[in-house]
Amino acid sequence: MPGASRQGVIVSSNQASAQKPGEARCPGPSTRDIIAADKGGAPAHLLEESYEFIGDQDIDFSRYTSRDFFTRELDQMWTRVWQWACREEEIPEPGDYTAYEIADRSVLIVRTEEGGIKAYPNACLHRGTQLKPAGSSGCSKQLRCPFHGFTWSLEGNLVDVPCRWDFPHVNEENFKLPELKVDTWGGFVFINFDTNAEPLEDFLGVLPEHFANWNLEDKFVAMHIRKKLPANWKACLEAFLESFHVLETHPQGVPTVGDANTQYDFYGDNVSRFVHLVGFPSPHIQDPRTEQQTLDALLAEGVVEGVYANDSRFKVPEGGRAREVFADYLKEALGKLYEKDLSHLTVSETIDAIEYSLFPNTCFFPSLLFPMVYRFLPNGTDPDSTVFDLLYLQPLPDSGERPDPAEPIELDFHQSFHEVPGFDPGLATIYDQDTGNLIGQQRGFKSTVKPGETLGNYQEVRIRHLHQTLDKYLDKNKEAAK
Ligand code: FES
Ligand SMILES: [Fe+2]
């Protein structure tokens, strides 16, 4: 039964349960029920559930703080996974390059003369100097080392050795730049250090199928924020893998978004998702709300500043739902703004926060209102800090014209998302709230006398799933070492 209420919000609900672990769900209509009732229906994959109980043991805090554990991740996991390194549109022309940094490794990603993409360890074969500065990007017709001038073509062929007479032991064969595995999906360039890695297509699992109606290739980077965060990369990612925290961390959202009724799924080792409702009040809301009140609250939030205002034209018809009116309006208004026909999108694909994570560190959102991509990279070799890339991908106009991708806006640890020019203030507050918890969490990891964190069986299953996949990489290495 509901406990004491605070500002119309139920703050606790203790119900004895005879169910097996992982079977209990928040009382009330499920996300699936609500989406299934949307006018116009929903894609089949949004109506499917893919959850099972995968354990309830505590997760060691040392996984977030230990230097040894961090080193094992580098040696045994980061060197074996497909990881998003850049967008294709960052290197459109022959000679365009970008240097992708993961911990202490640097990878040069290059557009070749033929228009293909190659990835090389960013290191000269002479005495090891980085061919391009860490994190840099630009355009050069050849890859020339800044130290003594050994030079390679974009295809990785040796083209110049200064004082050739002194290197009779160097030839085109043994001095070809070594290549890393590289492949693309949805306009994202992925690399893998492991020459025996499975194909990217296999690693992606259900993603291409589930993103068929939200083609990431037909998008451009309209905004890119890169912020330093004061916690381990997994803790930062995990802050975005559940909506259990919404009630406490984002109380302003509960009148218009789901939280305890969010749906959680996982598919194979690498992909998990949540489907987080928008336009439907949180089950924590105690007072019954009319659909019109929900719609008014949605419009008052001004999620997309300037696109709509509190306008008396917005009335929920008899038997209709706030979600539907909001989605119809958004498709029309954003369609006009983006010069794009968006009428094919269902209600859920228009307004819900649908987040897919791809192991180890990336999230893709296939919806119009929340078209984000997240990436959480260790900040160099520091287990205690992270670089968070936050991208907004806007649909290309129907004309097919591709605007230049936005340059990253850098925010340091102490800076607020409100400092990003043009960023919606409501969203800036949400990201400040999310990232504001992290310093306290990382410090708490080090202060606690309890060995590990205790996770909810359902709402926090994506966190457990992440750790179980990580363990497979760490265990695999243990097996190989035997
Ligand atoms: S280290 Fe690269 S040319 Fe000498
Ligand atoms: Fe949040």
| pLDDT profile of the chain (482 residues), mean per 10 | 39 60 94 95 95 98 98 97 97 98 97 98 98 97 98 98 98 97 98 97 98 94 98 98 97 92 98 96 89 87 50 80 93 94 96 98 97 98 98 95 94 98 94 97 97 98 98 81 58
Ligand 2 ion: residues within 5 Å (CB): 434
Q: What spacing in Å lies between the alpha carbon of 181 and ligand 1's midpoint? A: 24
CB neighbours of 286 closer than 8 A, spacing ≥ 6? Answer: 2, 5, 8, 9, 10
Which residue has a Cα nearest atom 1 of ligand 1? 127
For residue 161, the ligand closest to its alpha carbon is 1
Which H or E run contains 63? helix 62-65
In this structure, are residues 112 and 118 in contact, taking their beta carbons and an 8 Å threshold? yes
Indicate which ligand has the atom closest to the C-alpha of 144: 1
Distance 245 CA to ligand 2 centre (A): 6
Mutate which of 145, 152, 158 to test ligand 1's pocket (most atoms within 8 Å of Cβ)?
145
Q: Which residue has the tokens 């009779």?
A: 168
User: Taking a C-beta distance cutoff of 8 angstroms, is the pair 35, 47 a contact?
Assistant: yes
Give 208 Cα–ligand 2 centroid separation in angstroms. Answer: 26
Q: Tell me 420's DSSP state.
A: S
Q: Cα(110) to centroid of ligand 2, in Å?
A: 36
Nearest to 74 by CA among 473, 445, 386: 473
> How far, in Å, CA of 216 to CA of 226, rounded?
20
**How do 181-185 and 188-192 pair as beta strands?**
antiparallel
Structural domains of the chain, ranges and CATH numbers in brackets? 27-57+208-473 (3.90.380), 83-196 (2.102.10.10)
| Ligand 1 atom having least distance to the Cα of 129 | 1
Give the chain's length.
482
DSSP summary character for residue 56 = -
Of 230, 179, 158, 279, the C-alpha closest to 382 is 230
Q: 208: how many CB neighbours lie within 10 A of its CB?
A: 13
Does residue 76 contact residue 470 with C-beta atoms inside 8 Å? Answer: no
Report the residue among 122, 147, 177 best suited for mutation to probe ligand 1: largest number of ligand atoms under 8 A from its CB. Answer: 147
Half-sphere exposure of 274 (CA within 13 A, CB side): 25
- CA–CA separation, 123 vs 108, rounded Å? 9
All residues at 6 or more sequence positions from 175 whose CB lies less than 8 Å from its CB, including other chains: 125, 150, 158, 161
What is d(CA 283, CA 281) in angstroms, rounded to the nearest whole number?
A: 6
CB atoms within 10 A of CB 175: 17
Span from the CA of 388 to the centroid of ligand 2 (angstroms): 14
The confidence score (pLDDT) of residue 9 equals: 46
End-to-end CA distance of the chain: 54
Which ligand is the nearest neighbour of the Cα of 152?
Answer: 1
Which residue shows structure tokens 């190659």?
118
Task: Give the distance (Å) from ligand 2 centre to CA of residue 120.
Answer: 37
Distance 131 CA to ligand 1 centre (A): 8
Instruction: Please check whether residue 325 is in contact with residue 256, taking contact to mean a CB–CB distance below 8 angstroms.
Output: no
The rounded Å distance from CA 248 to ligand 2 centre is 10
Q: Can you tell me which residue has the tokens 């840099």?
A: 136
Spacing, Cα 129 to ligand 1 middle (Å)? 6
Task: Please give the pLDDT value at position 155.
Answer: 98
What's the per-residue H, E or C state across 184-214? EECCEEEEECCCCCCCHHHHHCCHHHHCCCC
The encoded tokens of residue 46 equal 């949004």
User: How far apart are the C-alpha atoms of 456 and 401, rounded to whole Å?
Assistant: 46
Cα–ligand 2 centroid distance for 249 (angstroms): 7
Ligand 1 atom with the smallest distance to the CA of 125 is: 2
Nearest CA to ligand 1 atom 4: 148
The atom of ligand 1 lying closest to the CA of 145 is 2
The ligand with the least distance to the CA atom of 236 is 2
26-31, long-range: CB < 8 A, 24+ apart: 26/260, 26/261, 26/283, 27/283, 28/261, 28/283, 29/261, 30/261, 30/263, 31/258, 31/261, 31/262, 31/263, 31/275, 31/276, 31/277
Question: Which residue among 120, 122, 125, 126 is best mutated to probe the pocket of ligand 1, counting the most ligand atoms within 8 A of its Cβ?
Answer: 126
Which atom of ligand 1 approaches the CA of 124 most closely?
Answer: 2
CA of 84 from ligand 2 middle (Å) equals: 23
Ligand 1 atom at minimal distance to the Cα of residue 149: 3
How far, in Å, from the CA of 77 to the mean position of ligand 1?
A: 30
Residue 150 CA: which ligand 1 atom is closest? 3
Please choose, from the candidates 314, 309, 301, 333, the residue with its C-alpha nearest in 3D space to the C-alpha of residue 424. Answer: 301
SS3 breakdown of the chain: % helix, strand, coil, rounded to 5?
30, 25, 50
What residues are in contact with ligand 1 under a 6 Å CB criterion? Answer: 124, 126-127, 129, 145, 147-150
Q: Over the range 435-445, which residues count as b (16 or more CB within 10 Å of their CB) and which as e?
A: bebbbebbebb
DSSP secondary structure of 360-372: TTEEE--SSS--E
Which ligand is nearest to the Cα of residue 244, counting in written order?
Answer: 2
Q: Which atom of ligand 1 is nearest to the CA of 148?
A: 3
Which ligand does the CA of 167 lie closest to? 1
Q: Which ligand is in closest contact with the Cα of 262?
A: 2
- The pTM score is 0.93
CB-CB neighbours of 471 under 10 Å: 13
**Residue nearest atom 3 in ligand 1 by C-alpha distance:** 148
With beta carbons less than 8 A apart as the criterion, state whether 419 and 360 touch.
Answer: no
How wide is the angle at C-alpha 43 spanned by C-alphas 258 and 375, nearest 5°?
60
3-class SS of residue 251? helix
